[in-house]
Each structure stands twice: as structure tokens, then as C-alpha cells.
A and B are shown apart, each in its own frame.
Chain A
Amino acid sequence: MVAMAKKISKTVLSRTDHLLEVRDFVSEAARQFGFSEEDVANIVLAVDEACTNIIKHAYQYAPDKEINIAIVRNNGTFEVKIKDNGKNFNPDALKRPDLQRNLTHHRRGGLGVYLMRKLMDKVEYNFEAGHSNEVSLVKYLSKKQSLIKK
């Protein structure tokens, strides 16, 4: 059996028509790592939300910018690092979305960041002097799943 590469990465242009390709890339890697279908779906959705936020907020729909998605697999840890060179985005400024309020104000913001935190075990943001952002999404493989894998 070929050993699984610890780190794989992919760069796509900042366009929503690349989201499907990103989801396929992440789901294959997560499945290979031994996650349940439910966990695979959760990781894929979290990555989609992160990339969608980059396209909308960091790049403000500019279609020719780059998003780099790197997957690092180590022991029981599956980390997806998503990098962009767009506008800084401070998710900590976002409160938990109030659905009732959004409903009456036609607002939809904040759902993606809230979902990412719900779906992953750890979500961290790193900003570099003005024009580089990285979000790290981490999911741990449960002991039960890693035993099955062995």
C-alpha cells in the first residue's frame, strides 16, 4: 500500500465555480484518513464556508485571485489550512447569528463562520501584515475511527 502523503495542497482561483472542485479534493483526503461519512461531510462544509467567505469578503468577488488549500495529516489530526491574500477579515467581530433578527432585517451574514466553529474541533485565524490571511480548520479522528482504520 502506498503511504499517505502527510501534506497535500491545491490552489484554485477565487471563483464560486471552483467550490465543487475544492469539496472533492477535501472529501477524498478526509475519507482516506478514516473519517466517518458524517465527519467527511462536516469537514467539507466547513472548508466550503471558509472559501466562500474568502471569495465574498477577502477578495470581494474578484475572480482572478488565489486561494490555497493545504491539508496536513498527522497521527489523528486532520488540519486544513486555507490561505488568501485579500482583505483582512476579523471573524471574532462576528457575533453568533440571530436568526430571528436576520429574518426581519434580510441579513444573512455570519452563518458560515458560526457553522465552521460548530463543525470543526478547532478553528484559528492568522493574519499577516495587511494582506495575507490563513484560517486553520482542525478535526481529530476519534479513537474508534482510528482503530477501524488499523
Chain B
Amino acid sequence: MSDFKIHHREGEGVNVLELKGYLDAHTAPDLENAFQQLLNEKRYRIVVNFKDLSYISSAGLGVFMAYIEDVRKNKGDIKLTNMTPKVYNVFDLLGFPILYEIYKDEKEAIGKFKDGKKQ
């Protein structure tokens, strides 16, 4: 039984990771692998869609912290979208909205990549 799934799709030069299920200390390594693969392929414009993510713990949030700096050094970004209030609350408690761009909608985040060529 797998309680966490990642679906990767790409369009217009932006890589979207759709997360589904439960992101905890058990499943966080799967997300790490997905980010590592994107970095290995020099894909730095990343949007993470949380629409179907039911749960996140700090182990999940730690993955974003581990990769954001490398991504930004390469003129990219990790933008976060479509969080449920429950998931957003965890990001908010840890102060993530100051350091990460969080959007209601995936299209908005993709649009930001298109607007700012520098990213």
C-alpha cells in the first residue's frame, strides 16, 4: 500500500509536481528523490501542487528547505499552490509564507514564472 504519490508533468518550461496522500517522515524520501531528479536534469522552475495532499508533517516541510537554495542559486524557484487550509496551517506555523511563494492556484504560479524571465 502506498500512502503518498507524486505525479510529475511539464509544460511551458515549468515542472509541476502534484502531491497526493500523506507526506510524513516515511514518505518524505520519495519527494526528496523527485526533487533530486529535477535538479539532476537541471530543471529549476518548479511548482508543487498540494491539491490532493491530505497531510504534511515537518519531515515533509524539511524537504522544501533542503532544495530551495540550490534551486534559487540556479535562477529557479519552488512555488507552492492549492494547499488545503489544514496543510497551509502547518506551513504558516513554521513561517514558510515569508520565504516561499504560495499561491491559491497552479496557473497563477506558472504565470509568475512566465512574467519574471529572471526566474
Contact = CB atoms under 8 A, between A and B. Distances in A.
Do A and B actually bind?
A: yes
Nearest to A102: B65
B98 to A, nearest CB: 7
A31 to B, nearest CB: 15
Interface string A111-150: 1101100110000000000000000000000000000000
Given A19-B24, A52-B59, A112-B58, A106 B94 contact: no
B99 A99 contact: yes
Interface in A87-115: 97, 99-100, 102-104, 106-108, 111-112, 114-115
Interface of B is mostly: helix
A106 B73 CA distance: 13
Given A16-B24, A48-B24, A52-B57, A106 B96 contact: no
Interface string A68-104: 0000000000000000000000000000010110111
Given A106-B69, A108-B66, A56 B3 contact: no
Given A45-B90, A108-B62, A20 B26 contact: yes
Interface residues of A, number: 28
Interface in B87-119: 89-90, 93-96, 98-99
A146 B59 CA distance: 33
A55 B25 contact: yes
A17 interface: yes
Q: What are the 7 A-B residue pairs with the smallest beta carbon separation, nearest first?
A: A108-B62, A16-B26, A111-B58, A52-B25, A16-B25, A112-B58, A48-B57
Interface of B: 3, 22, 24-26, 55, 57-59, 61-62, 65-66, 68-69, 86, 89-90, 93-96, 98-99
Interface of A: 16-17, 19-20, 23, 38, 41, 45, 48-49, 52, 55-56, 97, 99-100, 102-104, 106-108, 111-112, 114-115, 118-119
